[in-house]
Amino acid sequence: MCKMASKHHICERIKQQLRQRIVSGELGPGMRVPSEYELVAQSGAARSQARKALQELERDGLLVRKRGSGSYVAPQVDGSFPINGPIYETVRIVVPEYGSRYVRQILEGFMERMLANGTNVITSYEQFTDPEHEAAFLNLVDRMDVAGMVTWVINDSPVVRDALRRLRDRQFPLVLVDRSVTDLDIDIAASDNEAIGYQLTQALIERGHEAIGLVTSRSDTAHTIIEREAGYRRALEEAALPCDERFIIRLDETQTDHTRDVAGVIAHAQRPTAYVCINDALAESLETSLRQLGWTTDHGFEIACVADFEPRRGGWLPTEYIRQDGVAIGRNCAELLLARMADASRPAQHILIPSGPRVYEGPRDIEDLEPTGTTGAQGAVLGASH
């Protein structure tokens, strides 16, 4: 027990020392703070204690951590650093994970604007696999000691919608990020997902493809997915190209092996020459399945996808990809939340943020990739039939 208390004390001491250096102005906005190794050398702490201190300061909105570079004092929009003055209110932002570049950018943009306003930020990472658990969390929000919240809805279900309506009716300041929930009078900041689906499909049309399929989710029913599929269909219609339902692969993202689903589409003599993938996780699933079925870059197959991870995972097929502007989405979430906190009766706003430019990434040598296992006879037949 004493040993655990001592570890906690060391972590808190590191946090307080860094916080004091930030508050005093010794470490100004954008300045790099000592690394985990430097903190270990300076304080004699274990690396795990130094890491925990930096993570908690980031959670509190004082630091921004950049992969491969280090931790920096949170930047401010107007160049000021209001942490020198009082923190008047605290808000919470809830996102499903921290692994993607896109989510980190949302947090960066949100914290930047909130700290410039003198508002403290608590970050929560919640991956609600059960709608009941998500609804239970939402039903507790207005009893938490926060002035407002931004949340990423995981489950668009009746119980979650009821919880969101209750918060709306109680005029609790709430903003939805990334995923919209239709027919609710609640502020939303998200990508223009219909435009993303359209642009990805248009990219493949411009590269000369006429038989273009879609890889989407069977397990995720978020409106984001529906909007991107609508953009895919609109692009094909405008180009007078067929939207063949046989070319649409709906994968269950709760499963790990999608080879059978992919094989059922590409085994036909008439099959797509390119695929739009709703996100980069599904693009990775498609590429993994094709490798297991014996495909190589010689097949001339191309994909287009949203790339939220950096670098894009998988990635041996030539790819047109789009990245979402997470920083702009985060800043707009902050603006919407501040406006809602100032006037709870104002009309709800839905802000759609354009994505970044399209980027083309050529094929990688498949021999450089890790083996995925044996392809078997089915893979040899599929490869020969192309």
pLDDT in tens, 143-189: 887 899 999 999 889 999 999 999 999 999 999 999 888 788 999 99
What pLDDT does 105 receive? 92
Q: How confident is the model at residue 386 (pLDDT cuts 50, 70, 90)?
A: very low
Distance from C-alpha of 138 to C-alpha of 163, rounded to nearest angstrom: 6
pTM of the shown model:
0.72
| Mean pLDDT value across the chain | 82
What pLDDT does 367 receive? 52
- What's the average model confidence in pLDDT over 84-107? 78
Range in 140-144, 237-241, 319-323, 327-331 the model is least confident about: 140-144
User: Is residue 82 over pLDDT 60?
Assistant: no
User: Is residue 51 over pLDDT 50?
Assistant: yes
Structure-model confidence comparison of residues 264 and 334, the more confident one: 334
Q: What residue has token string 């390119």?
A: 274
Q: How confident is the model at residue 7 (pLDDT cuts 50, 70, 90)?
A: low
Range in 22-36, 81-95, 278-292 the model is least confident about: 81-95
Sheet holding 350-353, edge to edge: 119-125, 89-95, 149-151, 174-177, 187-191, 350-353
- What's the average model confidence in pLDDT over 250-260? 86
What pLDDT does 302 receive? 93
Token duo for residue 376: 């078997």
What pLDDT does 88 receive? 52
Token duo for residue 217: 């989710």
Q: How confident is the model at residue 273 (pLDDT cuts 50, 70, 90)?
A: very high
- Give me the phi and psi of 93, to 5 degrees please: -125, 130
Q: How confident is the model at residue 53 (pLDDT cuts 50, 70, 90)?
A: confident
Residue spans of beta strands (DSSP E) within 246-365: 248-251, 274-277, 302-306, 319-322, 350-353, 359-361
Token duo for residue 347: 């009309």
CA–centroid distance for 258 within its chain: 22
Structure-model confidence comparison of residues 82 and 61, the more confident one: 61
Highest mean pLDDT among 45-49, 159-163, 372-376: 159-163
DSSP notation for 290-311: HHHTT--GGG--EEEEE--SSS
What pLDDT does 384 receive? 28
Contacts of 355 (CB under 8 A, 6+ apart): 191, 192, 195, 196, 199, 306, 322, 323, 324, 325
* Nearest CA-CA partner of 119 in 158, 150, 96: 150
- What's the average model confidence in pLDDT over 18-40? 79
What pLDDT does 360 receive? 86
User: Is residue 229 over pLDDT 80?
Assistant: yes
Distance from C-alpha of 352 to C-alpha of 329, rounded to nearest angstrom: 8
CA–centroid distance for 107 within its chain: 10
Distance from C-alpha of 45 to C-alpha of 175, rounded to nearest angstrom: 40
